[in-house]
Every structure is written in C-alpha cells, then in structure tokens.
Amino acid sequence: MIEAIHINKYFGGNHVLKNISCLFEKGRTNLIIGQSGSGKTVLMKCLVGLYEVDSGKVLYNDRNFSAMKTEQRKMIRQEIGMLFQQGALFDMMNVEENVMFPLSMFTNKSIEENKDRANLVLKRVNLENANDLMPSELSGGMRKRVAIARAIAMNPQYLFCDEPNSGLDPQTAGVIDHLIQEITLEYDITTIVNTHDMNSVLSIGDQVNFIYKGELWWQGTKDEILETTNPELNEFVFGTELTSRLKKSIS
C-alpha cells in the first residue's frame, strides 16, 4: 500500500502537482489517468523519490519515505520495480544482461543462479530466445516486456509503470496491460500505472485516479467512469471521435 498525502510540486513558478492525496492499494492495478502534461509522470516520480516533493509526504506501508535519508531509501528502492515510458533499457547491454543487472548489483548469488532467475522472469513475460539481442534490435512490445522482466526480477512489492503501452499498436498494448494485471495478482503487489489510453482504463482500472491540470479531480473504478457526470472527465473519456460516436449510438 502506498499513500500520498497533500503532495505539492513546483518547477520554478509552475505549480505542477496541487495538493494531491490518494491511496494505492495492494493487489490492485491503480491507475493515474489524465491528458498529456497533466502531471502523471511528475506524480509518479515524486512517489518513487526521483523528484523531491515541495510539501506533503509519501508513505510505503506506513513508512514515511519522504523523510528518509538516501541510505534508508535505498532499502525501499529495492522493493520497487519501475517500467519507464520508453523502456529505459541499458543500451550497452543485451536483454539477458539488462534483466540480470539488478540481480548482480544487489544480490550475492552466483552468475548461474542470476541467469536462472533472469530466464524465469523472461519466460514470465513470454520472451524466450531473445537473451542475446541488444535493445536496439527489439520491437516496441519486446522492449516493454524486457523492461517488465527487469522490473520484476528482484521480486518487488511495488510496481510502477509510466505509460506502459505508449507507442504500441492496440493489440500489443492490450497484451502488455494484461501482463501487468496478471503480475499484480500473481505476486500480490501494489501496482500503479500511468496512462491516457481509455482501452487500458476500461480493461485494468481497478482503481482510477483522474488528474486534471495537476489536481486530483475524480476517483472511482473502471465501471463508474462511464457513468460519470464530471464534465472534465467526460471530456477526457468521450473526447475522441470513436468514443463520442459510440456514446451517441448507445444513448
């Protein structure tokens, strides 16, 4: 469980996060949705401490992460897996080395044991026989899978995904979404996903937090979101040609 309490974040004079409080529960995929530039990435980076909050605090299972020193944070960081928007694979390493990296950095196991673990998680994301490929040789969907494998290699308690299906075709995007949801249930972890894709929202949105211009504007589930009367959320959900036509034809 992760809790954000009255978080504020400024970049110079730009007030990017405005007093955001929300709860992300264990065993669920918690979504943060909103338009591009609404502050999703900044919120996620504040939660994991890549950006410092200007006020407010972040709790990991009631442990006050915001008040911790670097060394204490490192302990929590090892319970965190994160999937970045472009994958953020290390370009100089092949697939296997990428997945093995956190293992060889933070465990004292033998290379063989780490290799086994890497192969296990690569198999979990349905990516076999790609161990020797370099990141530049992978397709978008494969990159995301490797990144997920690397994120779960250390058996994290918390999984963060920043727009996991950006740049993917709808089918592949769906596969990645479901993979994330399965992993969440299987390992019973706290998962937080940033997205602006309504397909993801409707398929994996156990808990949805809608951010509008840096404010937490609406909270609910994927089923409640279709009934919403909130005008800004309505605009976001039914803003595209496809969804607005569908809505008309239903009503």
Ligand X SMILES: Nc1ncnc2c1ncn2[C@@H]1O[C@H](COP(=O)(O)OP(=O)(O)O)[C@@H](O)[C@H]1O
- Interacting residues with other proteins (CB under 8 A): 45, 48, 50, 73-75, 77-78, 80, 82, 84-86, 88-91, 101-102, 104-106, 154
**CB atoms closer than 10 angstroms to residue 161:** 28
- 36 near ligand X (CB under 6 A): yes
In the complex with other proteins, which residue's Cβ is closer, 67 or 111? Answer: 111
Classify strands 55-60 and 63-64 as parallel, antiparallel or unpaired.
antiparallel
Q: Strand, helix or coil at 21?
A: strand
Query: Which partner from the list other proteins, ligand X, Mg ion, none does 89 bind, CB cut-off 5 to 8 Å by kind?
Result: other proteins
Q: Classify residue 139 by burial, with Cβ atoms within 10 Å: 0-12, 13-18, 19+.
A: exposed
Distance in angstroms (rounded) separating the CA atoms of residues 202 and 196: 11
Minimum CB–partner distance for residue 220 and Mg ion (Å) = 22
Among 2, 20, 31, 42, binds ligand X (CB under 6 A): 42
Are 98 and 118 in contact, with CB atoms under 8 Å apart?
no
DSSP assigned state of 168: S
Instruction: Please report, as residue ranges, which positions from 37 to 66 form the binding site for Mg ion (by CB under 5 A).
Output: 41
In the complex with other proteins, which residue's Cβ is closer, 32 or 80? Answer: 80
In the complex with Mg ion, which residue's Cβ is closer, 41 or 131? Answer: 41
Query: Which partner from the list other proteins, Mg ion, ligand X, none does 82 bind, CB cut-off 5 to 8 Å by kind?
Result: other proteins
In the complex with ligand X, which residue's Cβ is closer, 44 or 154? Answer: 44
Among 20, 33, 39, 159, binds ligand X (CB under 6 A): 39
Distance in angstroms (rounded) separating the CA atoms of residues 208 and 211: 10
Query: Which partner from the list Mg ion, ligand X, other proteins, none does 11 bind, CB cut-off 5 to 8 Å by kind?
Result: ligand X
DSSP 200-244: HHHHH-SEEEEEETTEEEEEE-TTGGGG---HHHHHHHS-SHHHH
Q: Which stretch binds ligand X (CB under 6 A): 11-19, 71-79, 90-98, 237-245?
A: 11-19
Are 15 and 30 in contact, with CB atoms under 8 Å apart?
no
Q: Which residues would be at the binding site for ligand X (CB under 6 A)?
A: 11, 14, 16, 34, 36-42
